[in-house]
Each structure stands twice: as C-alpha cells, then as structure tokens.
Amino acid sequence: MLRASAANDRGDPSDEPRPWLGVVPYALLMMGLAILAVGIMVVAWPGKQSPTKPPAAQKVTTIEVGTAPPGWLDEK
C-alpha cells in the first residue's frame, strides 16, 4: 500500500523521545571502546625484567655497515 506523503512516517512531534534509539547505543559504544582501550593499556604495560638477562636490544654484533667483499659487482 502506497502512502500519499512521507510526512506521516515521521511521527507526532508530541511523542516522547526514545533514548533506546538515540543516545543509548552511542553511550554503550563509547563505554565498550573505553573498556577495550583500558584492556589494551593493561596488556601492553611492560612487566618487570630479569636483572640477570639483558634485553635483546643491548646485544651488539660487530657488522661493518657499507662494506662488501671486492669484486661483488663485477660482471662475469
């Protein structure tokens, strides 16, 4: 059944506001994102490191940067 105008679908301006269709979904989304952000921060927080085992970043290897053996570019 077709209606004459779309204005009838909007409802009466004197209707009570419906928070379940307006503010509540956004508030729940913001709360969910806040909980997720706090959870990520807790998981990502660095723990205590063992003083006897040095971190991997402190291990230094002796590699000369920018050197190659002679003749590596020569065409054969």
Amino acid symbol at 18 = R
Half-sphere exposure of 44 (CA within 13 A, CB side): 6
Q: Is the pLDDT of residue 45 over 90?
A: no
**pTM for the full model?**
0.43
DSSP result, the chain: ---S-GGGGG--TTSPP-GGGTHHHHHHHHHHHHHHHHHHHHHHS-----SSS--GGG------TT---TTSS---
- How confident is the prediction for the chain on average, in pLDDT? 75
At 69, the pLDDT band (50, 70, 90 cuts) reads: confident
